[in-house]
Structure 1
Amino acid sequence: MSADNSTDWHVGWAAAVQRPSIGFHKNWAEEGFADRTVRQIVRVTAGGTSARIRLSNRYGAAPLEVSGATLARTDKGAAVEAGTVRALTFDGAPSVVIPPGAEVHSDAAEVHAAPFASLTVSLYFARPTGPATFHAQGYATTYRAVGEQLAEADPAVFGETTVSWYYLAAVELADGGPARRETVVVFGDSLTDGFNSTVDANRRYSDALAERLAAEGAPRPVLNQGIGGNLLLNDSAWFGERAVGRFRRDVVDQPGVRSVVVLVGLNDIGFSEVDLPTYKPAPDNAVADLIAGYRDLIAQARAADVRIIGGTILPFQGAEYHTPVAEAKRREVNAWIRDSGEFDAVADFAVALADPADGDALAPTYDSGDHKHPNDEGYRRMAATLDAGAL
């Protein structure tokens, strides 16, 4: 719906959507919205002179009415740059109803955005939405205000916040040039999503990779399609559809994708080692099952002529689900990723971030404190580990 097929679009920013859930941080997904304006800030990794948004009601149980939408350049926090607010339309109308399970594009709007610019998307929901399709762990502040505040200049109106994104699946850009097939997607679980990175600082490894490529004179869009807690082989109420199931939608079907970096499997290894309700389902996956899952991703990528780079699973000694059994699986999986030759290339994150004194643990300088997720410097190190030529 509302797609302009005459323009060569590329995705400047994207997030993998998931079903409504409680999540690790306060969010509004289960309650949804009624007579509320939601203002969301995203940083694009490519520029353009026109833009459109993609909204998702993939996990909605009823039609979703979006009563209005605007796009603007971000000033600071909930404030927008004066004179940049653009009202968005959908097939020429100021509102749109999205069927359950569907996605829509807005019409194009003139918005001049440079690479690494932040854009503000405001959505108004006049009537109750029901539980909201969302992305749980955005590590960026989202704002909410009472009533229709789409063009509101005073940031104080937006007095409520979370760090999740709602209904917003992508911001797409066009610059009038030819279509280019150069987009890099990073795909996986919380290590890709950027868990424990600094909120509002754009310090995920995808951000660092985009900045690195631009600094090296080879700029290209880098999309983050990680979901915290995601599993390679099983769906989760909290942590999204299994990686093998969402790979086509979140990677292959993105416009202009040339390569994907896959980093997933830690939760498939670790969840079965502890008895926590949030870690269900938690089957005891054999390494052979995980390898079959990776082969599924490889086959999907090859069928679409997308290069696929395998990331080794980071050390996690000291984390709540590190056990001798889990460690043995990690080592065996990583050996297969490195040595099988089945991926087009390998990003050896495990070696790059390991403690020199103990290869089963993250180096303290890269550890965010939970012994499995990197800090900002660790995510920067992950981006530096990738061979740009492999992309």
Structure 2
Amino acid sequence: MPSSTASSATASLTAGVPEAVDALVPADRWDGAWTAAIMRPSGSPWFPTWAEQGFQDQSVRQVIRVGLSGSTLRIRLSNAYGDAPLHVSGASIGRAADGAAVQPGTIRTLRFAGSPSATVPARGKVVSDPLAFPVEARERLTVTLHFQGATGPASYHQVSMTTSYRATGDHHRDAAPTAFTESVAPGFGSWYYLEGVEVADARARPDAVVAFGDSITDGFGATVDGDDRWPDVLAERLLAAGRARPVLNAGIGSNKLLTDSACGGDAGMSRFARDVLEQPRAGTAIVLMGINDIQLHDDRMCGVDRDDPPVTAGRLITGHRTMIRAAHTQGVRIIGATLLPWGGSANWSVDAEAIRGEVNAWIRTGGEYDAVVDFDRALDPEGSGRMPDGLHMGDHLHPSPAGYRVMAEAIDLGVLDH
């Protein structure tokens, strides 16, 4: 549903609704509607961020698109990589307008244990109180956080492909965009401290699909502020088919399956439990991981002088098996996605391509994943080992918006069912 339609469908529902929900929502009624995989504060090799410096007497406005309708919501804030408690002086949510603007009359205060402020423990997280705030699937919202004191370096998600905005002073209740004069890296963007949005409703609900991967899942190469990554397009397909279901994007740019990276996040095997299995009512995971292990043999792009252990197809397959076992232990259906063609990209080599081919053959024929999505053949039906021009963003590695659509359309919606 386009955001304008979603907004008109829900704006009237908000009128007269109290800002706080008195009755407690049972824990098993919360569904994940949006998520971002949180990373340690770091410099980015591609664009500046606000993560290393953090915030002081500033308001940060972040735009997100929820994947499920509901009558009540709450947010999750993460200080996963903070060495000290994080004090949030104020927080609000509203319906997004253009840029940093919020639709008039839609801003609501978020509370934490009844207070308009919150302290997030070092290495911990907090969840806001339930708020009566009806939303529709694919609706755009803004979450605005004010930090009076110095936060120190910020736990964040580096590549959001969505513009975030900053203002000096406390403007978390402002609908007008006037004070939000700063944005960083308008061509990319990041999210800060915001880990999730959850919704609840009285109706029976489908469980969530979690897309787990690297920059190709994160959406590098998609349209900034366009929400046309492959998980977005998959969510739109489900909605159009009358099978609305949240598709939670747990991708991290430059992420590797086997090895931590200073600017590419914790290894996929390490973060799988947090970013997939701990999502509210996660039912199905789609895993697209391994190309960075194959093509990036060190962490020097992050300014770290370190060589990674040699990567083999066997080691990557063992990593995939670890995630499969973890998913099955939690009753989560897990789908393997083949690694994309990358011929012509900067780090391609004959030996590296052989590893990709061996991993893809195992994903297709090993029978260990519950199902397979063959992104490789969808983007390269001739088996050339290259993405056709127009389907990559120009680097022969990351899809373009058209390429992301091809990926999403290659998924048989039936394989997502638990």
Give the TM-score normalised by structure 2: 0.90
Percent identity, aligned pairs only, is: 46
Report the residue type matching 1:208 in the other structure: V
Cα offset, 1:25, TM superposition: 2.1
Report the residue type matching 1:147 in the other structure: G
* Shift in alpha-carbon separation, 1:355–1:345, aligned structure 2, 3 A: closer
| Equivalent pair of 1:206/1:222 in contact (CA under 8 Å) | yes
Report the residue type matching 1:19 in the other structure: R
Residue of structure 2 aligned with 1:250, choices 272, 275, 297 = 275
Cα offset, 1:307, TM superposition: 0.7
Instruction: String of CA shifts for 1:210-256, please: whole Å, max 9, x gaps.
Output: 00111112110100000001110111110111111111111111111
Report the residue type matching 2:121 in the other structure: P
| Equivalent pair of 2:299/2:307 in contact (CA under 8 Å) | no
Instruction: String of CA shifts for 1:97-130, please: whole Å, max 9, x gaps.
Output: 1111101000011212111100110000000000
Residue of structure 1 aligned with 2:193, choices 150, 167, 181 = 167
Residue of structure 2 aligned with 1:9, choices 30, 52, 67 = 30
1:154: which partner in 2?
176
Instruction: String of CA shifts for 1:9-66, please: whole Å, max 9, x gaps.
Output: 1111101000001122221000000000000000001111111100000000111000
Report the residue type matching 2:339 in the other structure: I
1:233: which partner in 2?
258
Cα offset, 1:274, TM superposition: 9.9
1:105: which partner in 2?
127
Cα offset, 1:152, TM superposition: 1.1
1:45: which partner in 2?
67
| Equivalent pair of 2:43/2:302 in contact (CA under 8 Å) | no
| Equivalent pair of 1:273/1:323 in contact (CA under 8 Å) | no
Report the residue type matching 1:14 in the other structure: T
Instruction: String of CA shifts for 1:255-298, please: whole Å, max 9, x gaps.
Output: 11110000000001111289755585533211111110000000
- Does 2:150 match 1:125? no
| Local SS of the residue matching 1:366 | coil
Q: Unpaired runs of 5+ in structure 1?
A: none
| Equivalent pair of 1:355/1:362 in contact (CA under 8 Å) | no
| Equivalent pair of 1:206/1:224 in contact (CA under 8 Å) | yes
Aligned equivalents of 2:389 and 2:254: distance in 1?
A: 23
Instruction: String of CA shifts for 1:151-188, please: whole Å, max 9, x gaps.
Output: 1122121011131000000011112234x352100001
Residue of structure 1 aligned with 2:108, choices 72, 80, 86 = 86
Cα offset, 1:317, TM superposition: 1.1
1:224: which partner in 2?
249
Aligned equivalents of 1:191 and 1:334: distance in 2?
A: 16
Aligned equivalents of 2:381 and 2:146: distance in 1?
A: 48
1:145: which partner in 2?
167
Report the residue type matching 1:93 in the other structure: S
- Does 2:295 match 1:305? no
Instruction: String of CA shifts for 1:129-161, please: whole Å, max 9, x gaps.
Output: 000000000000000000000111221210111
Residue of structure 2 aligned with 1:65, choices 83, 87, 105 = 87
Aligned equivalents of 2:296 and 2:190: distance in 1?
A: 24
Report the residue type matching 2:364 in the other structure: R
Aligned equivalents of 1:353 and 1:305: distance in 2?
A: 31
| Local SS of the residue matching 1:360 | coil
1:26: which partner in 2?
48
Aligned equivalents of 1:331 and 1:282: distance in 2?
A: 21
Residue of structure 2 aligned with 1:134, choices 135, 148, 156 = 156
| Equivalent pair of 2:336/2:372 in contact (CA under 8 Å) | yes
| Equivalent pair of 1:273/1:321 in contact (CA under 8 Å) | no
Number of paired residues?
387
